[in-house]
């Protein structure tokens, strides 16, 4: 299931990904999107919010369940993907592209995994 992971990203055990950009882009993995099913609502922090690595920063609701969104890094939210707020199904169709969630000016990172390490947790 986790065989198509972009190797340029880092991951959390809770199924979030982050790139190395500045600001860094954050989203959820295809593994998480598949497990959730049809995503119908996304609650994200506001631009300017301070976020902490490992802390809950929002929720993703699907037709099956509600899951908390954990932040992979600490810093300040500088952009929220309004397209995903308006059309949460983008997370299902393109979790590593158009379905990104937010961008954060990073101060520090949490415990991050490589694609290989994340894939080993989610075979």
The per-residue pLDDT for 108 is 96
Single pTM value for the model = 0.94
Quick one: average pLDDT of 23-35? 96
Tens digits of per-residue pLDDT, 63-98? 999 999 999 999 999 999 999 999 999 999 999 999
Q: How many CB atoms lie within 10 A of CB 58?
A: 18
Q: Which CATH fold would you assign to the domain 10-108?
A: OB fold (Dihydrolipoamide Acetyltransferase, E2P) (2.40.50)
The per-residue pLDDT for 95 is 96
End-to-end CA separation in angstroms for the chain: 6
Sheet (strand 50-51) strand order: 10-11, 16-18, 24-28, 102-109, 73-80, 50-51
Contact, 74 vs 24, CB < 8 A? no
Residue 117 — very low, low, confident or very high, per pLDDT cuts 50/70/90?
A: very high
Residue 123 — very low, low, confident or very high, per pLDDT cuts 50/70/90?
A: confident
Ordered by start, the domain boundaries in the chain are 10-108
pLDDT score of 58 more than 80: yes
Contact, 54 vs 110, CB < 8 A? yes
Q: Of 42, 56, 49, whose CA–CA distance to 86 is shortest? A: 42
Residue 1 — very low, low, confident or very high, per pLDDT cuts 50/70/90?
A: very low
Residue 2 — very low, low, confident or very high, per pLDDT cuts 50/70/90?
A: low
3-state helix, strand, coil in the chain (%, to 5): 20, 35, 45
What are the distances in angstroms from CA 32 to CA 15, 24, 53, 80? 6, 20, 19, 19
């Amino acid at each position: 299931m986790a065989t198509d992971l972009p190797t340029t990203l880092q991951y959390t055990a809770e199924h979030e990904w982050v790139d190395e950009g500045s600001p860094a882009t954050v989203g959820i993995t295809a593994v998480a999107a598949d497990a959730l099913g049809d995503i119908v609502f996304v609650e994200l922090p506001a631009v300017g919010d301070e976020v902490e690595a490992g802390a809950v920063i929002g929720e993703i609701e699907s037709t099956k369940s509600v899951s908390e969104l954990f932040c992979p890094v600490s810093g300040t939210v500088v952009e929220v993907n309004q397209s995903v707020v308006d059309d949460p199904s983008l997370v299902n169709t393109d979790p590593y592209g158009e379905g990104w969630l937010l961008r954060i000016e990073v101060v520090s990172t949490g415990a991050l995994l490589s694609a290989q390490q994340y894939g080993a947790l989610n075979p």
